[in-house]
Chains A and B, each alone.
Chain A
């Protein structure tokens, strides 16, 4: 233990004295070779240099599910001829029932019926668990002819029956082995595709046994640990507040925080006095979240402000996104971290219309959060006091928004509308007192709506990924990165790989909302203190990942994109800005591969000359320097991109293939 104490009591400020003053000065030498630290690292990890290849074997199939491994084994035991028969049987079956039946189930069934495809199909169609999937699949097959879908490309787009009504902004990708061993069915979470890093040699059969034991242990561990740590606490929810500029987002949230007692009286009084001095008293609540002098003077939010409050059942972290058009990049990085969204619209006559019409941010923000994977939305109809709580106005706005949000891909029962007023504080935390409102409104107040959101499932057992949204100097001498833990879990002392620079670092500390923790899980917003790497070498948009299961690094990839309203068509060679998590990079669309039908995914045209409004296509994108990313089929969070040009979001896309 004395070694550990050694590290703890090390005086960092002495070690790195003057480090931040010399910009661009390399301090690598003094930085890593602190002897006490080196000793510590050796014992902890068994030395990074001497890591044996055997270490990989035990953890490669980290998260494989049992049945998969099982069928995998059965598959592995077959002779070559049998394997070929198996493949051809599976192909036949797939042609009949579609790709929705998990592969390992298929393998089992085929083996059960001794390679008799006909019997296997009969079994599948008779089996109740596949009934609904296959039925909708077949129906669709009959109506749309998808030419050569099995071979022509490795992406097959299938529309599930339920989604056909709305214009889909999301896609479903079926899997086909590229160079992976395990394939998960689409219906399940696309978890285990990435279990074998390419650079690791394939394991022999002997190791399989050990592997399975290991994985089971490991997985149980994480789940149990999670339960132990978080089981009793309130569910954590991240909510982003979006809307057109001046819709009153910050004011609404500021008032909500005030009413919940998150801001003390003294500070509030100070804000009131100061804002009065500037002649902007209406901004006093907004100041709770807008902290920089610039934001206060101009009266608009520029960067995402964050705060926390509690409801009856949840712990909500609030991300107050800027509404102004020029700050959408900030808004995207904020929204990328959120589970749910609150859309604030201004009910004032004329204001709603400018925000909602073409060019207003209400539309763009809603489309963006949907494309970023947020599916639950609350709409706060703000400033209703200015139209004397008119029910007519409320209904009018709700109607318009409902149509639009449905188009954008939100399910109707995932959207809630709440009338409120941020400035007067009506219907925020308590039932309204305004008689005009009480006459017609009986629904829940804003806080209850937030409380009613379902927290999404956290993919804690997947390989660890964290996207960096901020790099800053910590309270001590070391530096911190903060961001959202997308998948997996992280403990203090873990080694992580910083991508795309492929440098490794050690986690020295973890903090969630300024409170130190020993471990963090998917979905958490953490700040991680890193050591063993220089601050200059880490920037916003980088991804921390598990060294054994690194993310892919690419500068050229294929994506399926949905084009929104564009004023100029997209051609090849079009230079755009892509947003991937917090990363903003210039890129060029180098090839238009296919134009696809928007909802069915059929190929409409090969090599189209250009893409215009509301089309969907498969394109090839080249980024100026390599970035860390994941296929959508493997990790939804890291497989999404937004494409913007000239301050307008022109498309959203999903990464389907990494080229180089």
Chain B
């Protein structure tokens, strides 16, 4: 994302102009825009015009509109952001107050006006525009009969393909069915890799599985590549990494990102960092339960005592439509920072973020134990 301009006054009101350049920027935009903001962008609108004789004709015109956002729709797989709202700036084609749905497009500038830019939003603009945060990794998590092909960018994990095939078990007498099933499965996975992984961008491809599935697959893939003379695969052979995981399910990606060999290679990605922090939260919960808490109420209490060392918070919470609730979370984050604590904002598109979301979305590692919190009933249970 490119920052075109930024006019934010001292009270936090202002406008920011942005230019999204890659699909991931849509995700950032999705996190930035909330209901009530006004967004200005160029768009195509169908306009009906009536001639002097009374016949009407409709034409599609490209025009620039400013809408006050009422509804936000994000397609995670296609990375398309759709904003619905009323027009707030009249022009020759569109009346004031008419509804319009803006599709934000790549490489088309849009400007976003917020009544209040809080620290979280400003930080999001900074991270979105930071060009160094680029690490594209593809991962194939597989087990016999099941594979997920996913792309890991700095703030998103996208499942590109899921391959679920029933492989007959080996049984006395006919092992062939089992082996035939396996070959078919490997072939499907290989096709999925070729289709979804762009080797120009991707730094490395992780192949993870329990047992020997990954080795067998790797062997199969390169045998096939030699047979069919597939240049793409052969040239990128060095990008493949074989890693152990306990299963082929999506959440095993967490284990993969913790593997020391992977950490070395992609340590700068947000995904790996998040997994590490979440892990340390769980370790703390095991060893010293009085120093690790989750749930909004507990975290706020701990914050009042200035006890929070690391705050783990999911970006899902900032996306809520309830303005006052969002403010509370922003306040929590700000005050933790003020007290010298570290705040990790998890992307809910990563595996670790998904897990944190399930865990109420907010968790904290404390500086000192607060056993008194433990006795209280956790009431944000539901």
User: Which of B171, B172, B244, B255 meets A472, CB within 8 Å?
Assistant: B171
Nearest CB on B from A361, distance (A) = 14
| A609 CA / B355 CA spacing, docked (Å) | 15
Taking a contact as CB atoms under 8 Å apart, the answer to whether A574 and B212 are in contact is: no
Known: A569-B282, A609-B289, A609-B374. A291 touches B175 (CB 8 A): yes
Q: Are A292 and B175 in contact (CB under 8 A)?
A: yes
On whether the beta carbons of A607 and B378 are closer than 8 Å, the reply is yes
Which chain B residues (175-212) contact chain A, with CB distance < 8 Å? 175, 177-179, 184, 210-212
Do A23 and B171 form a contact, CB below 8 Å, given A292-B179, A591-B381, A647-B246?
Answer: no
Q: Which residues of A contact B315 (CB under 8 A)?
A: none
Residues B315-335 near A (CB distance < 8 A): none
Q: Is the CB of A575 within 8 A of B289?
A: no
Contacts of A516 in B (CB 8 A): none
Q: Which one, B162-170, B230-238, B303-311, is touching chain A?
A: B162-170
B216 at the interface (CB under 8 A from A): yes
Q: Does A606 contact B (CB under 8 A)?
A: yes
Task: Please name the residue on chain A nearest to B357 by beta carbon.
Answer: A573
Query: In residues 254-308 of chain B, which contact A (Cβ within 8 Å)?
Result: 255, 279, 282-283, 285-286, 289, 293-294
Q: In whole angstroms, how far apart are the Cα atoms of A606 and B357 in the complex?
A: 22
Q: Check B358–A572 contact: CB distance below 8 A.
A: yes
Choose from B164, B169, B210, B377 the contact partner of A606 (Cβ within 8 Å): B377
Chain A contacts for B170, CB-based, 8 A: 291-292, 303, 305
Per the bound structure, the CA–CA distance linking A471 and B179 in Å amounts to 14
A326-B210, A577-B249, A590-B358 known; A610+B172 contact, CB < 8 A:
no
A470 an interface residue at 8 Å Cβ cutoff?
yes
Task: State whether A471 touches B374 (Cβ < 8 A).
Answer: no
Chain B minimum-CB-distance residue to A568 = B282
Do A571 and B246 touch (CB < 8 A)? no
Q: How far is the CA of A606 from the CA of B216 in the complex (A)?
A: 48
Whether A626 sits at the interface, judged by CB under 8 Å, is no
**Contact yes or no, B172 A326, CB < 8 A:** no
Q: Is B157 an interface residue (CB 8 A)?
A: no
B251 on interface, CB distance cutoff 8 Å: yes
For the complex, is B339 an interface residue (Cβ under 8 Å from A)?
no
Known interface pairs A304-B169, A569-B286, A646-B255; A294-B212 also in contact (CB < 8 Å): yes
**Which of B143, B145, B169: most chain A CB closer than 10 A?**
B169
Nearest Cβ distance between residue B264 and chain A, in whole angstroms? 20
CB proximity of B10 to chain A, nearest CB, Å: 40
Q: Which residues from A are CB-within-8-Å of B210?
A: 326-327, 647
Q: Are B172 and A586 in contact (CB under 8 A)?
A: no
**Contact yes or no, A540 B381, CB < 8 A:** no
Chain B residue contacts of A647, Cβ below 8 A: 210, 246-247
B residues less than 8 Å from A644 (CB atoms): 246
What 0/1 readout, one digit per residue, does chain A (317-335) give for beta carbons within 8 Å of chain B? 0000000101101000000
Which residues from chain B contact A303 at a C-beta distance below 8 Å?
Answer: 169-170, 178
- Cβ of B61 within 8 Å of any chain A Cβ, yes or no, is no
By a CB distance below 8 angstroms, the chain B residues around A573 are 355-360
Q: A618 to B20, alpha carbons, bound, how many Å?
A: 48
Are A540 and B178 touching (Cβ within 8 A)? no
**Interface residue tally for chain B (C-beta within 8 Å):** 45
Q: Give Cα A644–Cα B251 distance, bound, in whole angstroms.
A: 12
Docked CA distance A329–B213 (Å): 14
Question: Is A50 part of the binding interface, using a Cβ–Cβ cutoff of 8 Å?
Answer: no
Residue picked from B246, B255, B359, most chain A C-beta under 10 Å: B246
* Cβ-defined partner of A324 (8 Å) among B211, B286, B293: B211
B344 at the interface (CB under 8 A from A): no
> Complex: how many Å from CA A472 to CA B179?
12
Contact with A298, one of B212, B252, B359 (Cβ below 8 angstroms): B212
In the complex, whether B250 has a CB less than 8 A from a CB of chain A is: yes
Interface of A is mostly: mixed
**A5-33 vs B, Cβ < 8 Å mask (1 yes, 0 no):** 00000000000000000010000000000
| A612–B355 CA distance with the chains assembled, in angstroms | 18
* Pairwise interchain contact A307-B286, C-beta atoms closer than 8 A: no
Interface residues in A569-596 (C-beta closer than 8 Å to B) = 569, 571-575, 577, 584, 586, 588, 590-591
B164 neighbours in A (Cβ, 8 Å):
539
CB of A302 within 8 Å of the partner chain: yes
Q: Does A469 contact B (CB under 8 A)?
A: yes
Q: Is A473 an interface residue, CB under 8 A from the partner?
A: yes
| Cross-chain contact B381 with A607 (CB below 8 angstroms) | yes
A306 at the interface (CB under 8 A from B): yes
Chain A residues with CB under 8 A of B356: 573
Q: Please indicate the chain A residues that have their CB under 8 angstroms from the CB of B359 in the complex.
A: 571-574
The answer for the CA separation of A327 and B279 in the assembled complex, in Å, is: 25
* Interchain CA distance A292-B170 in the complex, whole Å: 7
Residue of A nearest to B188 (CB): A23
B211 contacts A302, C-beta separation under 8 Å: yes
Please judge, given known A-B contacts A294-B216, A607-B378, A647-B210, whether A471 and B175 are in contact too, CB under 8 Å: no
Contact A571 B285 (CB under 8 A): yes
Q: Which residues of A sit under 8 angstroms from B168, Cβ to Cβ?
A: 470-473
Q: How far is the CB of A24 from chain B (nearest CB, A)?
A: 10
In chain A, residues 77-124, which have Cβ atoms closer than 8 Å to a Cβ of chain B? none
CB distance from B287 to the nearest CB of A (A): 10
Render A515-554 as a binary contact track against B, CB cut-off 8 A, 1 for contact: 0000000000000000000010011100000000000000
Tell me if B378 and A471 are in contact (CB < 8 A). Answer: no
Q: Mark B113-145, 1 if CB is under 8 A from A, else 0.
A: 000000000000000000000000000000101
Q: Are the CB atoms of A609 and B293 closer together than 8 Å?
A: yes
Does A442 make an interface contact (CB < 8 A)?
no
A568-B286, A571-B285 are known contacts. Are A609 and B378 too (CB-CB below 8 A)?
Answer: yes
In angstroms, Cα B357 to Cα A590, docked, is 11
Contact B169 A327 (CB under 8 A): no
Structural contact, B177 and A306, CB atoms closer than 8 A: no
Answer whether residue A207 sits at the interface, using C-beta atoms and an 8 A cutoff. no
Task: List residues of chain A with CB within 8 A of the CB of B212.
Answer: 294, 298, 302
Q: Are A471 and B166 in contact (CB under 8 A)?
A: yes
List the A side residues contacting B184 at CB < 8 Å: 23
Give CA–CA (A23, B216) in the complex, Å: 22
- Closest B residue to A304 by beta carbon equals B169
Residues 470-494 of chain A, each 1 if its beta carbon lies under 8 Å from chain B, else 0: 1111000000000000000000000
Collect the chain A residues with CB atoms within 8 Å of residue B145's CB: 540
A:451-480 near B, CB below 8 Å: 469-473
For the complex, give the distance between the alpha carbons of A420 and B352 in Å: 49
**1/0 contact trace for B147-174 toward A, CB 8 Å?**
0000000000000000010101111100
A567 in the interface, Cβ–Cβ < 8 Å?
yes
Output the least CB separation between B303 and chain A (Å). Answer: 17
Given A294-B212, A326-B211, A327-B211; A609-B294 close (CB under 8 Å): yes
Nearest chain B residue, comparing its CB with the CB of A302? B211
Contacts of B169 in A (CB 8 A): 303-304, 469-470, 472
- Asked if residues A567 and B255 are in contact (CB atoms below 8 Å), the reply is no
Closest to A576 in B: B251
| Seed contacts A291-B175, A324-B211; 7 additional CB < 8 Å A-B pairs | A303-B170, A303-B178, A566-B286, A567-B286, A574-B355, A590-B358, A609-B378
List the 10 closest pairs (A to B, CB-CB), nearest first: A573-B358, A647-B246, A472-B168, A326-B210, A573-B359, A568-B282, A326-B211, A586-B249, A470-B169, A575-B251
9 intermolecular pairs with C-beta atoms under 8 Å apart: A324-B211, A540-B145, A568-B282, A568-B286, A572-B359, A586-B249, A607-B377, A609-B374, A647-B246
